[in-house]
Amino acid sequence: MMIPDDENGQVLRQMLDDGDDLDVPRGIEFFHVFAEQEDADAFVEAAAALPDVMVEDAEVDEEGVWQVCVIRVMAPSHAAITALELQLGELAESHRGYADGWGCPPADETSH
């Protein structure tokens, strides 16, 4: 499997090194942060219009930063993750926020 040498590639290679099966679909969580609740809420509404995603309501952390998690169930491939990450990042920026990474559980934790 050819995985590009970038940040997403590093995460995927670490997952493989940890024995993860990247062919197994699971919820991939994409995180976004906003300074203002109104911007976070507008992003939630816009992101919810995208296909095959679940968008959690905006939550504020102890530092007053608003966070939104967008989840798509898919196998963790570099192309799919990078494409959705870019799409969501641009959407977040249009609402004065930014992408703050992604994560997912190992395949063996999704089958229970």
Q: Measure the CA–CA gap between 17 and 29, rounded to whole angstroms.
A: 20
The token pair that represents 89 in the structure block: 């990042």
CATH 3.30.70.970 for domain 25-110: yes
Report the helix count and the strand count for the chain, using DSSP H and E.
4, 5
Parse the chain into domains and list their residue ranges. Answer: 25-110
| The model's pTM | 0.93
Beta-strand relationship, 26-34 and 97-103? antiparallel
What phi, psi does 56 have (nearest 5°)?
-80, 155
pLDDT digits (tens, 9 = 90+) for 29-79: 999 999 999 999 999 999 999 999 999 999 999 999 999 999 999 999 999
H-helix segments, the chain: 7-17, 37-48, 78-93, 107-110
> Is the confidence at residue 96, as pLDDT, over 50?
yes
